[in-house]
Amino acid sequence: MVLLGKQSQKWIKRGGRVLMPNYARFPLVFTKGRGAILVSADNSAYLDFVSGIAVNSLGHCNKGMARAIQKQAASLLHISNLYYNIPQIELAEWLTDHSFANQVFFCNSGAEANEAAIKLARLFAKTINPNRFEIISAENSFHGRTLATLTATGQKKYQEGFEPLPKGFLHVPFDDVGALEKAITPNTAAVLLEPIQGEGGVRVPKSNYLTEVRKLCDKNNLLLILDEVQTGMGRTGTLFAYEQAGITPDILTLAKGLGGGFPIGAMLARQKIAAVFTPGKHAATFGGNPLACSVALTVSKQMTPSFLKRVQDMGNHLFKNLVLLQSKTGLIKEVRGAGLLVGIDLSLPALEIIKKAHDKGLLLSRTSGHTVRMTPPLTVSCKEIDQAVSIFEEV
pLDDT along the chain (395 residues), means of 10: 82 98 97 98 98 99 98 98 99 99 99 99 97 98 98 96 97 99 98 98 97 98 99 99 98 99 99 98 98 99 99 99 95 97 97 97 95 99 98 96
Q: What is the CATH number of domain 6-58+304-394?
A: 3.90.1150.10
Per-residue pLDDT, 2? 57
Give the residue from 189, 193, 181, 202 showing the smallest Cα distance to 131. 189
Estimate to the nearest angstrom the gap between the alpha carbon of 236 and the chain centroid.
11
At 248 the pLDDT is: 98
Measure the CA–CA gap between 259 and 300, rounded to whole angstroms: 8
Residue spans in the chain of domains classed CATH 3.90.1150.10: 6-58+304-394
Are the C-beta atoms of 10 and 47 separated by less than 8 Å? Answer: no
| Burial of residue 39 (number of CB atoms within 10 Å: 0-12, 13-18, 19+) | middle
- Are 29 and 8 a contacting pair, CB within 8 Å? yes
Is the Cα torsion angle 269, 272, 274, 276 positive or negative in sign?
negative
Please name every residue paired with 341 in a beta bridge, in sequence order, or none if there are none: 338
3-state secondary structure of 158: helix
> Residue 328, class by beta-carbon neighbours within 10 Å (0-12 exposed, 13-18 middle, 19+ buried)?
exposed
Using CA atoms, how far apart are residues 253 and 5, in angstroms rounded to an integer?
A: 41
How distant, in Å, are the alpha carbons of 5, 37, 101, 301, 352 from that of 2?
Answer: 9, 15, 48, 38, 16
pLDDT of residue 368: 82
Q: Is CATH 3.40.640.10 the classification given to domain 64-300?
A: yes
Per-residue confidence (pLDDT) for residue 241, from 0 to 100? 99
Residue 41 has a pLDDT of: 97
Confidence at residue 3, expressed as pLDDT on a 0 to 100 scale: 66
Q: pTM for the whole thing? A: 0.97
Pairing relationship of beta strands 188-193 and 37-40 according to DSSP bridges = unpaired
- In this structure, is the dihedral angle defined by the CA atoms of residues 144, 148, 151 and 154, taken in order, positive or negative? negative
Q: How is the chain split among helix, strand and coil, in percent rounded to 5?
A: 40, 20, 40
Q: DSSP H helical segments within the chain, as ranges?
A: 6-18, 51-54, 63-73, 86-97, 110-125, 147-152, 156-159, 177-183, 209-219, 242-245, 271-274, 290-300, 305-328, 350-359, 382-394
Dihedral angle of Cα 70, 76, 79, 81, to the nearest 10 degrees: -70
Residues carrying CATH 3.40.640.10, the chain = 64-300
- Confidence at residue 4, expressed as pLDDT on a 0 to 100 scale: 79
